Amino acid sequence: MANKPFAITLKPGTSLNNLTGSWRTARPVYLDRLPPCNNACPAGEDIQGWLFHAESGDYEQAWRALVENNPLPAVMGRVCYHPCESACNRGQLDSSVGINSVERFLGDEAIRRGWKFAAAAAASGKKVLVVGAGPSGLSAAYHLARMGHKVEIQEAGPLAGGMMRFGIPKYRLPREVLDAEVQRILDLGVTLKLNCKVAHIEQSMQDGGFDAAFLAVGAHIGKRAMIPAGDAAHIVDAVSVLRSMEGEDKPMLGRKVVVYGGGNTAVDVARTVKRMGAEPIIVYRRTRDKAPAHDFEIEEALQEGVMIKWLSTIKQAGDSSITIEKMALDDKGFPQPTGEFETLEADSVVLALGQDVDLSLLDGLPGLEIKNGTVQVAPNMMTGHAGIFAGGDMVPSERTVTVAVGHGKKAARNIDAWLRGTAYQPAPKHELAEAGNLNTWYYSDADKTVRPMLDIIRRQTSFDEVQGGLDETTALFEARRCLSCGNCFECDNCYGVCPDNAVIKLGPGKRFEFKYDYCKGCGLCVAECPCGAIKMVPEDI
Amino acid sequence: MLKQTEGSKAVAEAIALCRPEVICAYPISPQTHIVEALGEMVKSGELPKCEFINVESEFAAMSVAIGSSAAGARSYTATASQGLLFMVEAVYNASGLGLPIVMTVANRAIGAPINIWNDHSDSLSQRDSGWMQLFAETNQEAVDLHIQAFKLAEELSMPIMVCMDGFILTHAFERVDIPSQEQVDAYLPPFDPRQMLDPAEPISIGAMVGPEAFMEVKYLAHAKQLQALELIPQLAAEFKQTFGRDSGGLVRTYRADDAETMIVAMGSVLGTIKDVVDEMREQGHKVGVLGIISYRPFPLQQVREALVNCKRFLVLEKSLAVGMGGIVATDVRMAVRGTGLKGYTAIAGLGGRPIPKTSLHKLFLEAEQESLEPVTFVDLDWDAVNKQLERERQNRHSGPIAENMLHDKGMSTAAKFG
Amino acid sequence: MGFQTVKFYQTGTFTVGNRLLAPDERSVQAGEMRSNSISSGHRACQGCGEALGARYAIDAAMAESNGQLIAANATGCLEVFSTPYPESSWQVPWIHSLFGNAPAVATGIAAALKVKGKHDVRVVAQGGDGGTTDIGFGCLSGMFERNDDVLYICYDNEAYMNTGVQRSSATPPAARTATTMPVGNEPGNVFGQGKNLPEIAMAHGIPYVATATVADLRDLEYKVRKAMKIRGARYIQIFVPCPLGWGTASDATILMARLAKETGTFPVFEAEYGEVTGVLKIRNKLPVEEYLKPQKRFAHLFGKHAHPEMIARLQAIADRNIRKYGLLQDQES
């Protein structure tokens, strides 16, 4: 520049000498927020994390990320009531991401392609007894095995799966899917002993030389209701009906079957009965919107021809009919008798009023606390008896497969820590990524993919799976609908929209950094971050 | 090659010989014939490797020249009068950015009243614009100065106006020696810009400069012009070597050796002055002439040397600093400060008013006799002026001056038919 | 139009980047090797739309010309904040001459390049709306009319911001500026005045005219790149909100541009040889209030002494734009 005109002509890029960062009163910082799907998942899945891989079509990586937390994606993709989708911020934009359907796609893809779990960690030399091969037990066994512990599952029933097999009808969960996912867990080296009822837990632990135990025996005892009934009245419980569907001897219920209850089990029984050629009628004391069953299940049942009597209680059961009383909801929403009666034909009555836990294996075990028929556990899932943990339907919580799987994982982590003489410290939760943190402009319009449904005739007459899965294109579409709430997905917006070039792009997978020497603190990166992964914090001046 | 040709045509040919790369112009009398001729030469291919751009204003003309010069092209434009004023902002900018643009100013009066005829008000209004200004006495000199101007401008990276009297020179057919291309090529090297817009070296030209460096920038422009005072005679000498002709330089004297009265002037009027001086010399008057070629930079030393031996001088100029008097005269007086010389100013030829020899004769004699007022308006119609002044004294709303004057002179339509 | 219609943020995308797109489909701004034509350390205000728009545009032009680009700049914010002695932000060869002559300077540069046979080096001229629609209009029109090989980019922030927010012929009706104060019966800038420069440019019959905003990067880049593929006079007007002049938050710059487009206030379109060939459709049409309300320059239209009739007139202007350019999804454009 020496021979260029003084002052009027300047060297390029010399403004880098001017550190405009000193103008700033607030600085942007990158952060990770907790996506609402992850927050809502009872199984503690990193949903956004595995969707991220699915978005690029790397399904195996997506599946591997998924099974870090949940070894049963094909099952989960069918039976989970997906609270993740209810929490999904996309629901406020158009409709929530079909997380459940992508999960099923990944689970099915894994079965189809024969993907196996990563090998277990080095053997710890510890042995853990898992009682019950339901979702909670299988989940715990899986995690413990991967942590390097020797695991044995003792199952009272003839087959693994627990309620997944004996409570959920085939048309919702084909058994070959369940079998495949169970087998994959066993392939990790988990021992499964069937028809092996644990009568006394301490004894069993001692006999097998177990260092710890995880109890997940579930809740299999159908609750009874006091219904005045004649001798000839045929009253059975829902769990028995569903269980017997798995055996050789199908239940004999007659043509007119009254199912008493408003939960998912009631609906499952009614739909099962319908497929057996009978005419089910659900009798429930409250209204449809008060029913604990999921509305889509009620809807599907109605489509299939299941009759439902809302606001009705059974007053009396005879040999071929029952008497029901009409109810009315009071101011507080509780059903009150009206004195108005009706008679329904009923060859049998199936009680679907909930289940109790068989706690006999705990008899005499010191330190336990039993309340309302369930075992009380500490936040680390350990019962009052050291080394004995419990989860699933036998502890107080919502009784779903997903919750059970979550319990299994959580218990496994705590058992692992306990075995090592430490305590498991979960990573602190990030602040929640709420819809208000997002700039949804950047997400293009894309409505949810509807999963194919089986035609109605086959739904009424067969146990074929009602809901189909997504194919690869639709799964990819659905995965890409994820907004990546609260976590940078490297969209480059901050890098692009900074008027001061004060953002460094670190390269794929490495995200970004601010050049605070130049950042003036305008906040555009925060405002234009689609997913709310940046926030402004005041500068100390 | 000797040619009987129009001044504008001769200048156009000279410009073409300088191999300009971008020519842009907006038409204004009396500059038009120059750029018309150049336009034709570019279009016909006679002047190859040159872009001729018909712009929409003089402001654009100078701006295009700024752009093309900054991008490393030898750039030329021509204008006059109102046109020069219309481009003033860009004129200052070109010099501020140090861009060696050459511009012909076909000197013409500035309105209002609108007037297309010659005087020097236009280029003198740009006295402080940072441009160098060379005044041609003849069409031959106009040709030669343009060739020198490109070399000077590019050597210093500063723009130059070559000033030639509108109509008197531009439209006059005279014998002119047009040099050959070989001669011009030998004299004028290709443009090697001091700074250039080039993606290979991406400089920023035209920064905003605050109080911390502005004065230095301005001083450096001044220093450039001081350098030009040394370079101009040098280039004239080189010119003589190549072309065999005295042309250019800072000043030129005529019969000045023993002159007691010196007449100082710029441009074509020097020819008339020399004729009058010749006549007076024959009559025994010791009169001489100092022609100023380089008005900017102003050659204070050379003017002083040329005048220091006389007894009095008269600056005859085609310009008026309204409210002050002479423009050139002020500079000349500055040159002779401390000598005790008597100096007179004569304002003549404004708006194309003829400057007849008889008037000059009379004027020079009065100067010699030292009977002149400090500032004299040559051939002013005092009757008309006085009448108007009287009218205004009596009535504030005395109507348009120009119209009144025409009436007084019996030249208005109203007077004819009224 | 601007960019292919895509369905997701990953492939469809309104974001700057996209890890799932093929490299040649990615935006210039997403690239680590983007030219950053205006370096950090410039003195633009926080959240300056013009600084952003200029980098978007010049980087895109640099990409399209393989770095063979020269820029001429009118006086204005962009010039002042980028080149105060002794520091320049520019990474491209750049010249600032005057407020009103950038198009002519660019013409001169283009002429020089042509005569020197540097056909690969391209020229852009740029200025604010004042430098473009007012003081530089003569030179701009001349450059258009001669079809000089220059891409002129106007960064439109709708007033003279550099001198302290005075009205330009691009200032919208009702807007408060220092010379159109919110006083009297019809506060702010008057209705029925102002220039529609894109249409005036189209009337010159030049090969390419387009409008864009800093809220639609891909569209903006597409237009700059398209313009750079064409020879002759081209004009792009980029809508660049000014936090200082408009009285908006520094982080609302892009939002304002988006709202201007989504309300129909600023129609985003492109035209070739005087004919509109494409428009960027409104995604979710919004009433003009959504755009006006966050801006202090329109504050006098709301509140205690509200002027609903003036808002209605602004809405009518937006509606006319929507009709005229067919800005709605189902409209023919």
Domain boundaries, chain C: 23-325
Provide the pLDDT for residue C8: 45
Q: Smallest Cα–Cα separation from A265: which of A235, A309, A298, A225? A: A298
* Residue in B97, B98, B204 closest to A10 by CB: B204
Q: Smallest Cα–Cα separation from B226: which of B307, B291, B125, B299? A: B299
Q: How far is CA B330 from the centre of its chain?
A: 17
B263-314 pLDDT, tens digit each:
999 999 999 999 999 999 999 999 999 999 999 999 999 999 999 999 999 9
User: What stretches in chain A show pLDDT beneath 70?
Assistant: 1-2, 232, 448
Residue B168 to residue B172: CA distance in whole angstroms? 6
Tokens for C284, please give them. Answer: 């979710």
Asked if A410 and A143 touch (Cβ cutoff 8 Å), the reply is: no
Residues in B touching A3 (Cβ below 8 Å)? 194
- Chains B–C, number of C-beta pairs less than 8 Å apart: 171
Q: What CATH architecture applies to the domain A14-32+488-538? A: 2-Layer Sandwich (3.30)
**How much helix, strand and coil, in percent to the nearest 5, is found in chain A?**
35, 20, 50
Provide the pLDDT for residue B418: 38
User: Taking residues B5-18, what's their average pLDDT?
Assistant: 98
Q: How far is CA A315 from the centre of its chain?
A: 37
CB-CB under 8 Å, C107 with B53: yes
Q: Of B167-176, B397-406, C9-18, which range is least confident?
A: C9-18
SS3 per-residue string spanning B243-263: HCCCCCCCEEEECCCCCCEEE
Provide the pLDDT for residue C136: 97
**Domain chopping of chain A, boundaries:** 14-32+488-538, 36-220+357-431, 222-355
The three-state secondary structure class of A291 is coil
**Domain chopping of chain B, boundaries:** 2-243, 251-377, 382-417
What is the band of C114 on the pLDDT scale with cuts at 50, 70, 90? Answer: very high
Q: What pairs with residue B308 in β-bridges?
A: none
Q: Of A485-489, B94-98, B167-171, which range is least confident?
A: A485-489
pLDDT over 70 for what percent of chain B? 98
Provide the pLDDT for residue C35: 94
The three-state secondary structure class of B362 is helix
Provide the pLDDT for residue B415: 46
| Alpha-carbon separation of residue B231 from B98, B227, C13, C52 (angstroms) | 17, 6, 64, 48
Residue A28 to residue A520: CA distance in whole angstroms? 10
What is the band of C6 on the pLDDT scale with cuts at 50, 70, 90? Answer: very low
CB-CB under 8 Å, C40 with A495: no
Residue C51 to residue A524: CA distance in whole angstroms? 13
Q: Which helix (H) or strand (E) holds A115?
A: none
Residues in C touching B55 (Cβ below 8 Å)? 104, 107, 142
CATH fold of B2-243: Rossmann fold (3.40.50)
- Do A36-220+357-431 and A222-355 show the same overall fold? yes
CB-CB under 8 Å, C101 with B59: yes
User: Taking residues C225-250, what's their average pLDDT?
Assistant: 98
Q: Which residue of C has its CA nearest to B93?
A: C97
| Alpha-carbon separation of residue B109 from B128, B167, C158, C321 (angstroms) | 18, 12, 41, 50
CATH class, domain C23-325, is alpha beta
CA distance C69 to chain B (A): 6
CA distance B118 to chain A (A): 36
Provide the pLDDT for residue C82: 97
Return the ∠ at Cα B60 (arms to B57 and B66), rounded to 5°: 150
Residue A234 to residue A236: CA distance in whole angstroms? 7
Q: B413 pLDDT exceeds 70?
A: no
Q: What pairs with residue B103 in β-bridges?
A: B77, B161
Asked if B164 and B144 touch (Cβ cutoff 8 Å), the reply is: no
Tokens for C155, please give them. Answer: 């960064």
Tokens for A482, please give them. Answer: 């994820």
Q: B417 pLDDT exceeds 80?
A: no
The distance in angstroms from the start CA to the end CA of chain C is 11
User: Taking residues B320-327, what's their average pLDDT?
Assistant: 96
| Alpha-carbon separation of residue C274 from A467, C235, C271, C307 (angstroms) | 55, 12, 6, 37
| Alpha-carbon separation of residue B66 from A84, A214, C106, C313 (angstroms) | 65, 86, 9, 44
Asked if C113 and C119 touch (Cβ cutoff 8 Å), the reply is: yes
Say which residues have a Cβ less than 8 Å from residue C152's Cβ, sequence separation at least 6: C102, C103, C106, C124, C125, C126, C127, C132, C140, C143, C233, C234, C235, C236
Q: C258 pLDDT exceeds 70?
A: yes
Residue A392 to residue A223: CA distance in whole angstroms? 18
**Domain covering A36-220+357-431 in this structure, CATH number:** 3.50.50.60
| Interface contact A7, partner B, CB < 8 A | yes
Sequence letter at residue A540: D
Reported as half-sphere exposure (CB side, CA atoms, 13 A), residue C121 has a value of 23
Return the ∠ at Cα C196 (arms to C191 and C202), rounded to 5°: 160
Provide the pLDDT for residue B395: 84
Provide the pLDDT for residue B416: 47
Q: What CATH architecture applies to the domain A222-355? A: 3-Layer(bba) Sandwich (3.50)
Residue A476 to residue A461: CA distance in whole angstroms? 33
**B103 φ/ψ angles, rounded to the nearest 5 degrees:** -130, 130
Q: What pairs with residue C123 in β-bridges?
A: C70
Residues in C touching A441 (Cβ below 8 Å)? 14, 258
The distance in angstroms from the start CA to the end CA of chain B is 57
CATH fold of B251-377: Rossmann fold (3.40.50)
Reported as half-sphere exposure (CB side, CA atoms, 13 A), residue C38 has a value of 31
Test mutation, C4, C15, C281, chain A, max A CBs within 10 A: C15
Q: In terms of C-beta distances under 8 Å and separation of at least 24 residues, what long-range contacts does C205-208 make, across chains too?
A: C205/C273, C205/C274, C206/C144, C206/C147, C206/C232, C206/C233, C206/C234, C206/C235, C206/C273, C206/C274, C207/C147, C207/C231, C207/C232, C207/C233, C207/C234, C207/C272, C207/C273, C208/C232, C208/C234, C208/C235, C208/C270, C208/C271, C208/C272
More confident residue, B30 or C26: B30
Q: Which residues of C50-76 are buried (b: 16+ CB within 10 A; e: fewer)?
A: bbbbbbbbbbbbbbbbebbbbbbbbbb
The three-state secondary structure class of A348 is strand
- What does DSSP assign to residue B198? B
Tokens for A497, please give them. Answer: 């929209």
Residue A106 to residue A51: CA distance in whole angstroms? 10
What is the band of C333 on the pLDDT scale with cuts at 50, 70, 90? Answer: low
Return the ∠ at Cα C137 (arms to C133 and C138), rounded to 5°: 165
Tokens for B84, please give them. Answer: 């020069």
CB-CB under 8 Å, C139 with B73: no
pLDDT over 90 for what percent of chain C? 89
What is the band of B399 on the pLDDT scale with cuts at 50, 70, 90? Answer: confident
Provide the pLDDT for residue A429: 92
Task: Give chain B's contact residues with C (Cβ, < 8 Å).
Answer: 21-22, 24, 49-51, 53-57, 59-60, 62-73, 75, 89-90, 93, 97, 197-199, 201-210, 212-213
Q: Smallest Cα–Cα separation from B197: which of A222, C69, A79, A144? A: C69
What is the band of B190 on the pLDDT scale with cuts at 50, 70, 90? Answer: very high
Task: List chains touching B (3+ CB pairs under 8 A).
Answer: A, C
User: Taking residues B104-111, what's their average pLDDT?
Assistant: 97
| Interface contact A8, partner B, CB < 8 A | yes
Please state, rounded to an integer, the average pLDDT across all residues of chain C: 94
Q: B319 pLDDT exceeds 60?
A: yes
SS3 per-residue string spanning chain C: CCCCCCCCCCCCCCCCCCCCCCHHHCCHHHCCCCCCCECCCCCCCCCCHHHHHHHHHHHHHHHHCCCCEEEEECCCHHHHHHCECCCCCECCCEEECCCCCHHHHHHHHHHHHHHCCCCCCEEEEEEEHHHHHHCCHHHHHHHHHCCCCCEEEEEECCCECCCCCECCCCCCCCCCECCECCCCCCCCCCCCCCCCHHHHHHHCCCCEEEEEECCCHHHHHHHHHHHHHCCCCEEEEEECCCHHHHCCCCCCHHHHHHHHHHCCCCCCEEEECCEEEEECCCCCCCCHHHHHCCCHHHHHHCCCCCCHHHHHHHHHHHHHHHHHHCCCCCCCC
Q: Smallest Cα–Cα separation from A85: which of A35, A37, A33, A42? A: A37
- Do B2-243 and B251-377 show the same overall fold? yes
Residues in B touching A5 (Cβ below 8 Å)? 97-98, 157, 194-195, 205, 217, 220
pLDDT over 90 for what percent of chain B? 93
